[in-house]
């Protein structure tokens, strides 16, 4: 019988210590393997024998596993105490060493991408579980330039796009925001300001947003100019030089999602904006106002202060997994049994939560900062969901275990849904039920609709900038985008014209944001299918998870009978949200 207590994790399954004999041996072994790998370089020819080729790939995987183990230890030790100077220094050393190893082994992927199609197909046909990993690398072949051109782009990027990213960070990270709270003036970071965006006092919510966009707005013309330049650079490189059809297509290929699937996804999102508009009208009624201001979007509604002690939380989470499939709770239990969970709140420990999968043969490590609130329980279900996903895919290679970005949140979000369903079924206190449902719909809004409309704005902005649009014209388009999103359900003030210059993602990783909407809607749609089909759905779902990253996402889903090209599939996700809003509307008034 396991006893569930809040403890720190044990890292000895990786290494005893950063300077122990096992670590020294691992480093020596890594060096030996990298040297042996380098010695095989001359064998990489189009005529290479399949057996030799696979041996080389296995050598590379072995290097990767060992490197991940060392890096995993360093980064987990640091996460457990970010103020520990030994951990800090060790992590920096390991990062440096890993970059060196990456450079020494890079020749393999360069050769592989260059290889002519017939030879590549011969080798891929014989490479089993490595096939998709090998195939995926080659997707970029038609968009890859000559070695000289690639080198020039790299060199010019360091003083071009990368320099602008750093400049944007440097400018926006030094912003200080002022808030007057209870007559006292405070100087806050943006993260601290967002706490006030969720405050129960409406005037503090308004003050927080007004101050954020006052500060961003002061630099608006400059930040906007940085954006215009980055967008032009993106088009010049991705569309003009690399011959992608559209600016967004370059990102779609990284995600391995076809352009038309992303188009369908965004169309369905746009069509379903009225669901959240209905939700915001309901929220206005509960807050006793005629119409919600944009400042009130994340206003808390009832605020029950229900707490769950750690043991109860673990039992609830495991029980909800068990209810779906006993195997899932068994896998989650392994994380506890092996002491791979750090749930304590400690000074210096990294905030938030994550799940780290190091190599397929090791049970993942989970970090939580558990404080007993309902959303802490949901986070536990989320991170253990990630662990389950990895464990179900642990028969794959180190290169094919991890699900790609749009699929990476499947088991975690599904785990949360199972928990919330279970809690809603057991909970009799209407206030707690209301809070849980509001939390769910708030999260769905922030992950799906908000991100989808960012992506729609990006698509439009890339087009407008190509046509020579000014920063003011972009701001006007952004306000228009908000109006389409909210209709008349929300009052939008002029301050929000600068919101777009405050979104780092659209600067740093163009078109990244739609992956959030993809992942969350995918899970809601799957959950919907589960509700409709019951038992027969379960094996299909477990297959999706067990595939890990060993196939293209569209293929994994097609094998489970899901057609992501079909708008109805995505609509299924919105139907779940619509029903949650129905449930909220049916609850008795506060």
Residues that bind Zn ion (CB under 5 A): 412
Ranked by CB distance to Zn ion, the top (closest) residue is 412
CB-nearer residue toward Zn ion: 474 or 547 = 547
Q: How far apart are CA 154 and CA 149, in angstroms?
A: 9
CB-nearer residue toward Zn ion: 211 or 383 = 383
The token pair at 391 is: 């464990």
Q: How far is the CB of 523 from Zn ion (least distance, A)?
A: 11
The token pair at 195 is: 């706490």
Q: How far is the CB of 350 from Zn ion (least distance, A)?
A: 15
CB-nearer residue toward Zn ion: 34 or 403 = 403
Helix (H) or strand (E) holding 180: strand 177-181
CB-nearer residue toward Zn ion: 412 or 481 = 412
CB-nearer residue toward Zn ion: 238 or 412 = 412
CB-nearer residue toward Zn ion: 416 or 499 = 416
Q: How far is the CB of 516 from Zn ion (least distance, A)?
A: 10
Q: How far is the CB of 304 from Zn ion (least distance, A)?
A: 25
CB-nearer residue toward Zn ion: 115 or 381 = 381
Q: Which residues contact 567 (CB under 8 A, 6 or more apart)?
A: 264, 267, 268
Q: How far is the CB of 444 from Zn ion (least distance, A)?
A: 15
Q: How far apart are CA 226 and CA 221, in angstroms?
A: 9
Q: How far is the CB of 253 from Zn ion (least distance, A)?
A: 23
Q: How far is the CB of 68 from Zn ion (least distance, A)?
A: 19
Q: How far is the CB of 382 from Zn ion (least distance, A)?
A: 6
SS3 505: helix
Q: How far apart are CA 489 and CA 284, in angstroms?
A: 9
Long-range contact pairs involving 37-44 (C-beta distance under 8 Å, separation at least 24): 37/63, 37/104, 37/105, 37/108, 38/104, 38/105, 41/107, 44/107, 44/108, 44/111
Q: How far apart are CA 160 and CA 148, in angstroms?
A: 18
CB 576 within 8 A of CB 528: yes
SS3 376: helix
CB-nearer residue toward Zn ion: 412 or 525 = 412
Centroid of chain to Cα 390 = 15
b vs e for 100-125, b when ≥16 Cβ sit within 10 Å of the residue's Cβ?
A: ebeeebeebeeebeebeeeebebbbe
DSSP state of 350: -
* Beta strand spans in 368-464 (E): none
Q: How far is the CB of 354 from Zn ion (least distance, A)?
A: 8
Q: How far apart are CA 402 and CA 249, in angstroms?
A: 23
CB-nearer residue toward Zn ion: 193 or 384 = 384
């Amino acid at each position: 019988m396991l006893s569930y207590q809040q403890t720190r994790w044990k890292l000895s399954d990786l290494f005893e210590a950063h300077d122990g004999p096992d670590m020294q041996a691992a480093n020596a072994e890594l060096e030996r393997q990298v040297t042996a790998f380098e010695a095989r370089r001359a064998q990489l020819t189009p005529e290479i024998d399949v057996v030799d080729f696979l041996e080389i790939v296995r050598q590379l995987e072995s290097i990767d596993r060992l490197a991940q183990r060392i890096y995993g230890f360093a980064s987990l030790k640091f996460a457990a105490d970010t103020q520990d100077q030994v951990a800090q220094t060790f992590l920096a050393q390991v990062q440096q060493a890993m970059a060196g190893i990456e450079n020494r082994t890079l020749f393999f992927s360069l050769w592989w991408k260059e290889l002519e199609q017939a030879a590549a197909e011969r080798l891929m046909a014989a490479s089993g579980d490595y096939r998709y990993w090998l195939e995926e690398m080659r997707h970029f072949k038609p968009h890859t330039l000559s070695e000289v051109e690639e080198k020039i782009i790299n060199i010019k990027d360091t003083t071009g796009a990368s320099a602008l990213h750093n400049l944007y960070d440097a400018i926006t990270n030094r912003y200080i925001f002022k808030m007057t709270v209870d007559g006292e003036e405070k100087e806050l970071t943006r993260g601290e300001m967002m706490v006030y965006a969720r405050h129960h006092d409406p005037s503090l919510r308004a003050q927080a947003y007004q101050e954020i966009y006052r500060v961003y707005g002061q630099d608006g013309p400059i930040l906007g100019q940085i954006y215009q330049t980055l967008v032009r650079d993106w088009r010049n490189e991705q569309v003009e030089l690399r011959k992608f059809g559209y600016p967004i297509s370059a990102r779609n290929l990284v995600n391995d999602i076809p352009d038309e699937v992303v188009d369908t996804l965004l169309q369905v999102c746009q069509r379903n904006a009225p669901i959240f508009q209905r939700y915001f009208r309901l929220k206005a009624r509960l807050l006793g106002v005629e119409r919600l201001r944009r400042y009130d979007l994340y206003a808390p509604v009832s605020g029950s202060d229900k707490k769950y002690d750690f043991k109860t939380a673990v039992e609830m989470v495991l029980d909800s997994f068990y209810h779906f499939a006993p195997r899932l709770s068994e896998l989650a239990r392994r994380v506890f049994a092996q002491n791979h969970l750090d749930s304590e709140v400690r000074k210096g420990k990294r905030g938030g939560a994550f799940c780290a999968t190091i190599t397929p043969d090791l049970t993942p490590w989970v970090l939580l900062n558990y404080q007993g609130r309902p959303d802490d329980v949901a986070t536990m279900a989320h991170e253990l969901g990630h662990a389950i996903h990895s464990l179900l895919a642990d028969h794959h290679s180190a290169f094919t275990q991890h699900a790609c970005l749009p699929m990476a949140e499947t088991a975690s979000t599904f785990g949360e849904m199972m928990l919330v369903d279970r809690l809603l079924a057991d909970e009799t206190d209407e206030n707690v039920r209301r809070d849980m449902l509001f939390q769910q719909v708030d999260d769905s809004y922030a992950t799906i609709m908000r991100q989808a409309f960012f992506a729609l704005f990006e698509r439009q902005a890339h087009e407008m900038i190509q046509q020579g649009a000014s920063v003011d014209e972009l701001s006007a388009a952004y306000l228009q985008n908000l109006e389409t999103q909210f209709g008349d359900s929300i009052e939008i003030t002029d301050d929000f014209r600068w919101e777009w210059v405050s979104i780092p993602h659209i600067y740093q990783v163009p078109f990244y944001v739609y992956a959030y909407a993809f992942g969350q809607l995918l899970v809601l749609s799957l959950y919907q299918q589960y509700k409709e089909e019951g038992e027969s759905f379960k094996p299909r779902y477990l297959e999706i998870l067990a595939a890990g990253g060993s196939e293209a996402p569209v293929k994994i889903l097609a094998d489970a009978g899901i057609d992501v090209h079909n708008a109805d599939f995505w609509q299924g996700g919105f139907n779940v949200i619509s029903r949650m809003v129905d449930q909220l509307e049916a609850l008795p008034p506060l």
